[in-house]
Amino acid sequence: MRQIAVASGKGGTGKTSIVASFASLTEAVFADCDVDAPNLHLILKPEIMERIPYKGMKVARIDEEKCTECGACQRACRFNAIENFKVMEEKCEGCKVCTLVCPVNAISMYERVTGHIYTANTRFGNFVYGLLEAGEEASGKLVAQVRQKAREVAEKKGIDLIIIDSPAGIGCPVIASIGNTDLVIIVAEPTMAAIHDMERILSVAEHFKIRAVVVVNKYDINEGMTEKIERFCKEKGIDIVGKIPFNKKFTEAMVKGLNIVEYDENIAESMRKIWNKIENKLK
Amino acid sequence: MIITVASGKGGTGKTTVAVNLALATDAKLYDCDVEEPNANIFIKANLQKIEDVFLMNPSFDLNKCTFCKKCAEFCAYNAIAVLPSDILFFPELCSGCGGCKIVCEHDAITEGKKKIGEIYHGKNEVEIYQGILNIGEARAVPIITKLKSYVNKQNTSILDAPPGNGCPAIEAMHGADFVILVTEPTPFGLHDLKIAINIVRKLEIPFGVIINRYGIGDEGVEKYCKEDGIEILMKIPYSRKIAELYSAGIPFVKEMKEWKRNFIEMYEAIK
Ligand code: SF4
Ligand code: SF4
């Protein structure tokens, strides 16, 4: 089973539009791991087959009746999740330390459904995605479960490729999304901010020993910066597998709920070339 | 007053808004996007490190350990595995909660510090504080928490939040007096804006919306805000000039003076 993750460091560089276009170009199980802001389903338009409740970390709750307001829990909680003898669920990490230190056993842990994992059919094939309820923690854990489910689907259907849409950033859900993949595709943009972020996500890939390639999106909005990306990648020995010009058609396609390959034949051709290069990397 | 600039979807122009707002109002800027801090690309201050951020990590004294497994049973993150005569510890899973040390009855666990990031400070036209997460580390929240300890409610403080709707973004909003949600007028922008609005409402913080790159997509965001009675604080039109200035790391209030006024007016209205 081969797994590819599409990541970017900086958000909004066009990751999801690119992943969605691959759906027209290859057979794969697609997995949206951007679980706190998923967008891929807006293009793939899934017909949901299975909806699996996801239980995140348990959270602490203090029984007001029993609580003597001694403050032991507040002092012990390293996540500052308890204030005025109430647990702020959005800050609680579920570590249970407060239950250990409470002298009157006023605290217990509760399990809650904090999101869902969906398996679905789309006009392109199989799709798995996760959706965290607003403001819930532990997205790394949900990412791991989305990927697990995607593997199960792929095995059952005899598909040997999984394409993962990773969230932005370099922290917990990103590490969970790109870890143990065969290739990570970094979508960069020729802006100072995006180059800085690209360098950091490339270091993360290197840190976890994952092979990386770069796609430069909107390369013509600042060609000088694009050259900078090219120089940087050359020095590091990282291949640039494609350069995509800025084109309003990407947004138009998104507004229509289509991927760019479906929407515009010319751009489809260049996306196909990019995909072929990526596929060659997997061989 | 603390204003957090957040977005749900990444790349909608959060940093642009935070930087330009800070410059226009002479506020202090806090870059809470510790995974990918970008604000100083625009401020260009000479940053100095002012603090390291640590996470506590247990270590195990195998001479005292009886391999009773109490710590592994307690750890909610499966960071410890106890073998018949050894302990396996997975630092990347550890939250640093300190629970294992409390449950160990044989005094076999001590805690040490592991560095996970840094806090920087600098000043150019405005003062900027920045947190940064070390490569390979998963936990951004403790760095944001530390960074926020430098926020002084007396001043106007602008917090540039990380993208997304996960724990780091929530930590950047927690305790703010007002949240500005920056979005773009596309289906992706609208979808993630709705999630972000749910969070801000849960946190009970007053908020308003800025539509960036106004004109590129559809009317979905505007319609949604109107129907839901959500205030649109500002619309920043899509303009090649703004995009070019952005790509070169230049805040657009510097080159397009009329926008300085717009940001000041918006700030006055929020106050
Ligand atoms: S479970 Fe842990 S994080 Fe949650 S309130 Fe208790 S001590 Fe704090
Ligand atoms: S400090 Fe907490 S999270 Fe870390 S190993 Fe100990 S019990 Fe587990």
Residue by residue, DSSP assigns B7-34 as -BSTTSSHHHHHHHHHHHHT-EEEE---
Among candidate residues B202, B223, B229, the one with its CA nearest the CA of residue B211: B223
Pick from A80, A168, A197: CB nearest B164: A168
Pick from A37, A171, A196: CB nearest B165: A37
For residue A97, the distance in angstroms to the closest alpha carbon of chain B comes to 5
Distance CA A199, CA A114 (A): 33
Higher pLDDT among residues A160 and A133, named by residue: A160
Q: Across residues A154-164, what is the average pLDDT?
A: 96
Same domain, B86 and B196: no
Distance CA A210, CA B28 (A): 38
Same domain, B44 and B17: yes
Domain span at residue B49 reads 2-53+117-270
Which-ligand-closest: CA of B87?
A: 2
Same domain, B13 and B95: no
CATH, residue B64: 3.30.70.20
A85: left (phi over 0), alpha (psi -120 to 50) or beta: left
Instruction: Concatenate the DSSP letters of all residues of A146-171 into one string.
Output: HHHHHHHHHHHHT--EEEEEPPSSSS
pLDDT by residue (tens digit) across A79-108? 999 999 999 988 898 999 999 999 999 999
| pLDDT level of residue A140 (50, 70, 90 thresholds) | confident
B38: nearest CA partner in chain A? A193
Least confident range of A25-29, A100-104, A275-279, B257-261: B257-261
The verdict on the CB of residue B77 being under 6 Å from ligand 2 is: yes
Same domain, B14 and B44: yes
Q: Interior CA angle at A82 toward A78 and A87, to 5°? A: 125
Pick from B97, B217, B248: CB nearest A97: B97
pLDDT by residue (tens digit) across A14-33? 999 999 999 999 999 999 99
What is the DSSP pairing of strand A113-122 with strand A125-132? antiparallel
Same domain, B92 and B172: no
* Interchain proximity A37–B8, CB inside 8 Å: yes
HSE-CB of A99 using CA atoms within 13 angstroms: 17
Pick from A94, A135, A190: CB nearest B199: A135
| Residue after which a domain boundary falls, among B115, B134, B156 | B115
Same domain, B163 and B220: yes
Same domain, B82 and B204: no
Look over chain A and give the mean of its residue pLDDT values, rounded to a whole number.
93
Same domain, B96 and B135: no
Q: Residue A134: its pLDDT value, please?
A: 66
Burial B105-117 (b: 16+ CB within 10 A, else e): eeebbeeeeeebb
| pLDDT level of residue A137 (50, 70, 90 thresholds) | low
B160: left (phi over 0), alpha (psi -120 to 50) or beta: beta
Same domain, B109 and B162: no
Task: Estimate the crossing angle of helix A15-22 against helix A249-256, to 10 degrees.
Answer: 70
| Residue after which a domain boundary falls, among B115, B131, B161 | B115
* Interchain proximity A257–B187, CB inside 8 Å: yes
For residue A126, which amino acid is it? N
Q: Residue B240: its pLDDT value, please?
A: 85
Burial A260-282 (b: 16+ CB within 10 A, else e): bbbbbeebbebbbebbeebbeee
Distance CA A195, CA B247 (A): 10
| Residue after which a domain boundary falls, among B115, B146, B166 | B115
Which-ligand-closest: CA of A110?
A: 1
Q: What radius of gyration, in Å, describes the C-alpha atoms of chain A?
A: 22
pLDDT by residue (tens digit) across B4-29? 999 988 889 999 999 999 999 999 99
Instruction: Concatenate the DSSP letters of all residues of B219-266 into one string.
Output: SHHHHHHHHTT--EEEEEE--HHHHHHHHTT--HHHH-HHHHHHHHHH
3-state secondary structure string across B193-231 = HHHHHHHHHHHCCCEEEEEEEECCCCCHHHHHHHHCCCC
pLDDT by residue (tens digit) across B113-136? 999 999 999 999 999 999 999 998
The verdict on the CB of residue B90 being under 6 Å from ligand 2 is: no
Compute, in degrees rounded to 10, the torsion defined by CA atoms B159, A175, B75, B86. -140
Which ranges of chain A does DSSP label H, i.e. alpha helix?
Answer: 15-22, 40-44, 72-76, 97-101, 139-157, 172-178, 192-207, 223-236, 249-256, 260-263, 265-282
Same domain, B188 and B198: yes
Q: Across residues A137-166, what is the average pLDDT?
A: 92
Q: Residue A22: its pLDDT value, please?
A: 96
Burial A171-194 (b: 16+ CB within 10 A, else e): bbbbbbbbbebebbbbbbbbbbbb
Q: List CB contacts (< 8 A) between A204 and chain B.
A: 135-136
The verdict on the CB of residue B67 being under 6 Å from ligand 2 is: no
Q: Interior CA angle at A54 toward A51 and A60, to 5°? A: 150
- Count how many domains chain B has: 2
Q: What percent of chain B has pLDDT over 90?
A: 83
CATH, residue B39: 3.40.50.300
Please say if the pLDDT value at position B94 is more than 70: yes
Same domain, B46 and B161: yes
| pLDDT level of residue A12 (50, 70, 90 thresholds) | confident
Compute, in degrees rounded to 10, the torsion defined by CA atoms A34, A40, A42, A45. -120
- A109 C-alpha to ligand 1 centroid (Å): 9
| pLDDT level of residue A138 (50, 70, 90 thresholds) | low
Per the CB < 8 A criterion, the answer to whether A50 and A119 are in contact is yes
Q: Whose CA is nearest to atom 8 of ligand 2?
A: B75
| pLDDT level of residue B235 (50, 70, 90 thresholds) | very high
Residue B96 CA: which ligand 2 atom is closest?
1
Give the ipTM of the model, two decimals please.
Answer: 0.89
Distance of CA B173 to the CA centre of its chain: 8
pLDDT by residue (tens digit) across A175-222? 999 999 999 999 999 999 899 999 999 999 999 999 999 999 999 989
For residue A260, the distance in angstroms to the closest alpha carbon of chain B comes to 15
Q: How far apart are the first and last CA of chain B?
A: 8
For residue A28, the distance in angstroms to the closest alpha carbon of chain B comes to 23
Distance CA B23, CA B27 (A): 7
Q: What percent of chain A has pLDDT over 70?
A: 98
Phi–psi pair at B220, nearest 5 degrees: -50, -50
Please say if the pLDDT value at position A38 is more than 70: yes
Structure tokens at B186: 């596309």
Distance CA A231, CA A111 (A): 50
Same domain, B139 and B218: yes
B183: nearest CA partner in chain A? A12
